Amino acid sequence: MKTMLPLLASAALASVICADSSEPRITIDAGKVGQPMSPHIYSQFIEHLGRCIYGGIWAEMLEDRKFYFPITPEYRPYRRLTDQPFPVIGASPWEIVGPAEAVTMSTNRPFVGRHTPLIRAGGGIRQRDLGVTQGKSYVGYAWLKAADSASAAVEIALVWGDAATDRRTVTFTGITPEFRKLPFKLVAGPTTDKAMFELRVTGGAVLAGTISLMPADNVEGMRADTLALLKELNAPIYRWPGGNFVSGYDWRDGIGDRDHRPPRTNPAWTGVEHNDFGMHEFIRFCRLINAEPWITINTGFGDAYSAAAQLEYCNGATGTFWGKRRAENGAPEPFRVKYWGIGNEMWGSWQLGYMRLEHYVLKQNWVVDKMREVDPAIVCISSGNIGPWSTGLLKNCSGHMDFIAEHFYCQERTNLMAHVRQIPDNIRRKAEFHRKARQDLPELKGKDIRVAMTEWNYWYGPHSFGELGTRYFLKDALGIAAGLHEYARQSDIVSSAFYAQTVNVIGCIKTSRRNAAFETTGLVLKLYRQRFGELPVATETTGEFDVQAAWSRDRKTLTVGVVNPSLSGAQLALDLSGAKLKGTGTRWQIAGSDPKAFNDPDQPPRVVIEERSVEAPFDGLRVPPCSVTLFAFDAD
């Protein structure tokens, strides 16, 4: 295959250097083909932060179901984002029902964590602000035991009003002095985001271990609506569990029986880490959406021996110590995790366990050596940051990495074109640094260490969907599309990219309490993953447009992506060589008159992908204002 990387890499500038041209024009030489654009460019990143997993991917409806916070008469659960629809809890979300003295926290052999609620007859606990849909079923369970030798009785209810008829109730009697898991099913009355869950003790005294409530259509504990969108997104790899979170995370907290996993303070962010979504859940999540798992190792507070044990747990045979533990936890077959991130942003002073470069070089190499003793076939990705840090890793750790990670985030710009250009400009900046490093560093001679852009996105605005749950607009979709074009131009050096993060937290999918929907950025990622070609070709543009063409893998279809970062439509003249197009094609369009248009999961979508047939572009390509337009034409 003929490679034209210098031409493709420089094409990023072509869309802006001739912005004063009177006639916008696209020049495509389909005979000049760059290195294939990896499908891993469409990968995703999920972290234990905000409502990305809990409240987004995971279907659990109850906050603090393991009672990390003590239940007290002072019911004041929300401490952050109190003016937003999804506030962050800083105290128990459980409210005492009945006399305050009827509920205390017992530290005598707690079910899990530090304490267990003890509820006496006439008292109970309640959780508010649950989202339910009319006629929909909800399933759950409660681990309960009588607090003394006498049997006890409880009433569990889903409530949506004050009247006696505004509830569905199940009753359990004969509860014995031994913890038992008691399942229940409840059907909602009207649709509301103000439903309540109640547990009342009607006889004796009861210790409540853990409680769970999920929609009955959950898929192995995951939200069915979110999972359906994730399958449409079709990301090839998911990076987990962080992010800043990983530097204080003990992976052993996330294995074993889910109800007995300890709740912890989130080590990097706010709120509680429930440890409901751990190693086994992540692997199953990836299998359900047909993605490869990427696990990031804790090189903050963690060490090489913990990393090697984690790898053995995932990939070891049942004859190994940790492989046997995995089998005992329900997975006799190894997970065969191939991709392993070595730490996260250890160059940042905000990172738990942050250290100087010369010290981290030693730790990075030590961790990789110990992991490769367990499984020499793994792919290791070092955590870089262009400048002295990445240079130091490339010089001193090149034998201990297969790829090097880079991150970037962009803020809002008032000028539409400037807002859009940030994303491709940052991608090119990262790529050019590493391309030059290959020329300058003798340690890289004969090595092909490419860039994994493991976090990239816009990050600004109010947290409308919980902690870091920023909303995205049509103008952000234009930037993400321009970024995908830039990844095509940098296909010789950037091997993968992970949009951060997938759900709610700066995510391309947003969820409410009852619904899920694609953000504008998610629409672009979905469209390009499904329709954009894999073999980038030489593309130049005059005017303010960002354009990139690519062949399909079989070279039977030529695709052309056009980003119009202006409020005026345009007819772009087309000079095409190296391909002969057939008479008709398809156009997919994401457009609108308002750059601030957005989608909301509880409302009909304002921004959609529109599809229609078009004639081959003998007279050029027409694009609307403020738009991402993707064309596909069959070729002879």
| pLDDT tens track for 204-218 | 999 999 999 999 999
Provide the total of helices (H) and of strands (E) in the chain, helices listed first. Answer: 11, 33
Summarised one tens digit per residue, pLDDT across range 361-370 is 999 999 999 9
> Hey, which residues does 451 pair with through a beta bridge?
404, 494
How many residues in total does the chain contain?
636
Question: Per-residue pLDDT averaged across 161-184, rounded?
Answer: 96
Question: Per-residue pLDDT averaged across 460-479, rounded?
Answer: 97
Q: How confident is the model at residue 10 (pLDDT cuts 50, 70, 90)?
A: very low
DSSP E strand boundaries for 42-191: 43-45, 78-80, 88-89, 95-97, 103-106, 116-120, 124-132, 137-146, 152-159, 167-175, 180-187
Tokens of 222: 């995951």
Which residues touch 559 (CB under 8 Å, ≥6 apart)? 531, 532, 533, 549, 550, 551, 552, 630, 631, 632, 633
Q: How confident is the model at residue 12 (pLDDT cuts 50, 70, 90)?
A: very low
Residue 4 has pLDDT above 50, yes or no: no
Residue 235 has pLDDT above 90, yes or no: yes
Alpha carbon separation from 565 to 15, 120, 612, 629 (Å, rounded):
11, 64, 22, 11
Give me the chain's average pLDDT, please.
Answer: 95
- In the prediction, which pLDDT does 19 show? 40
One DSSP character per residue, 179-232 reads -EEEEEEEE--S-EEEEEEEEEEEESEEEEEEEEEEETT-BTTB-HHHHHHHHH
Q: Any idea what DSSP says for residue 400?
A: G
| Contact by Cβ (8 Å): 557, 551 | yes
| Contact by Cβ (8 Å): 264, 319 | no
Residue 443 has pLDDT above 70, yes or no: yes
Domains of the chain: 5-38+536-635 (2.60.40.1180), 42-56+218-458+476-499+510-533 (3.20.20.80), 78-215 (2.60.120.260)
Q: How confident is the model at residue 7 (pLDDT cuts 50, 70, 90)?
A: very low
- In the prediction, which pLDDT does 497 show? 98
Please give the model's pTM, rounded to 2 decimal places.
0.95
**Half-sphere exposure in the Cβ direction for 322 (13 Å, CA):** 19
| Contact by Cβ (8 Å): 89, 79 | yes
Which residues touch 603 (CB under 8 Å, ≥6 apart)? none
Q: How confident is the model at residue 620 (pLDDT cuts 50, 70, 90)?
A: confident
Q: How confident is the model at residue 18 (pLDDT cuts 50, 70, 90)?
A: very low
- In the prediction, which pLDDT does 377 show? 97
Residue 376 has pLDDT above 90, yes or no: yes
- In the prediction, which pLDDT does 13 show? 36
Residue 44 has pLDDT above 70, yes or no: yes
